Amino acid sequence: MKAFRLYSAYFAQFLKSRLAYKGDFIASLIGTAFIGAGGLLFIVFLIDGESVKAIKGWTRSEVLFIYGYSLLATAIFSTLAPNLYNFADRYIIQGEFDRVLLRPLNSLCQVLFESFNLESLANIFVGLGVVLYAGGQLGITLSVIDVVWLLVSALSGAVILLSVFVFLCSLSFHWEDKVGIAPPFYNMINFGRYPLPIFNNLIQFVLSWVVPFGFVAFYPATHFLGREEFRAYCYGTPLMALACLMVASVGWQFGVSRYSSTGN
């Protein structure tokens, strides 16, 4: 409870500073929502229902459903992850990790809770809207169990994303690189927003077992799409999230043990 109050205080202080300029915050929310919805145009124009009715058996409504599903997890991830993107430069090269280690709190939680990208929360509403619209087109009706699965899988997807990038950040403790290796992996998130079978076998393998972004949206979304061939993968999403969390935790703790501070 003490840790919860402390991290809640972190969030409260950031929220106060962010809401100091309410107009700017609201404009950022709207802009983020438009950016999140912009990817929908690609799907709409690519699969127009006339000349192109489906991609490898996946209809436009199914692709839209998976895309909207992905926005739920990525919105949660993006809200918590702004400090992970520039972690190597800010915390390792500039030495701000020294300040983190001086406090008797979990170092990773401090890094995550020092800053938030609250504008990303707008994509939750965009994602829900797309899921409901595409679900209506597909004749999907949500039961209580479906809603629970939607929440569990969205949180699991966010955990997978966070775990992957925490692990990548942990590599920065072993060698100094201002940019780090995370940026290319951020671009890979987009692959997980579409049905994996539309890609070649190598990409499917990578997105399933190496960088498991396929479990962020595609596999859990098949619960609603009636794709029985993916059932085992679908309900393995929480287990994949747990496995990623454990790997990230071990990698982070090992990296912190190798941290030697900045020098001149």
Question: Per residue in 16-75, pLDDT tens?
Answer: 888 888 888 888 888 888 877 777 777 777 666 555 567 788 888 999 999 999 999 999
58 phi, psi to nearest 5 deg: -105, 120
Give the helix ranges, DSSP H, for the chain: 2-18, 22-46, 60-80, 82-85, 87, 97-101, 107-113, 122-138, 144-170, 182-188, 201-205, 218-225, 231-234, 237-257
Residue 264 pLDDT > 60, yes or no? no
3-class DSSP state of 9: helix
How far apart CA 211 and CA 248 sit, in angstroms, is 12
The letter for the amino acid at 85 is Y
What the block records as the tokens of 143 is 């039961």
Question: Per residue in 80-139, pLDDT tens?
Answer: 999 998 898 889 888 899 999 998 889 999 999 888 988 888 899 999 999 999 999 999
What's the confidence (pLDDT) of residue 192? 87
What's the confidence (pLDDT) of residue 167? 95
Q: For the whole model, what pTM was predicted?
A: 0.90
Using CB atoms within 10 A of its CB, is residue 43 exposed (0-12), middle (13-18) or buried (19+)? Answer: buried
What's the confidence (pLDDT) of residue 49? 56
- In eight-state DSSP terms, residue 217 is T
The residue that leads in pLDDT, 42 or 217, is: 217
What's the confidence (pLDDT) of residue 52? 57
DSSP string, 103-131: SSS-HHHHHHHT---GGGGHHHHHHHHHH
Average pLDDT over all residues of the chain: 88
3-class DSSP state of 186: helix
Residue 239 pLDDT > 90, yes or no? yes
171 phi, psi to nearest 5 deg: -70, -20
Q: Judge whether 180 and 88 are in contact, CB under 8 Å.
A: yes
- 82-110: b (≥16 Cβ within 10 Å) or e: bbbbbbbbbbbbeebbeebeeeebebbeb
How far apart CA 28 and CA 85 sit, in angstroms, is 19
How far apart CA 123 and CA 75 sit, in angstroms, is 6
Question: Per residue in 149-178, pLDDT tens?
Answer: 999 999 999 999 999 999 999 998 888 766
123 phi, psi to nearest 5 deg: -70, -20
What's the confidence (pLDDT) of residue 154? 96
What is the distance of C-alpha 124 from the center of its chain?
Answer: 12
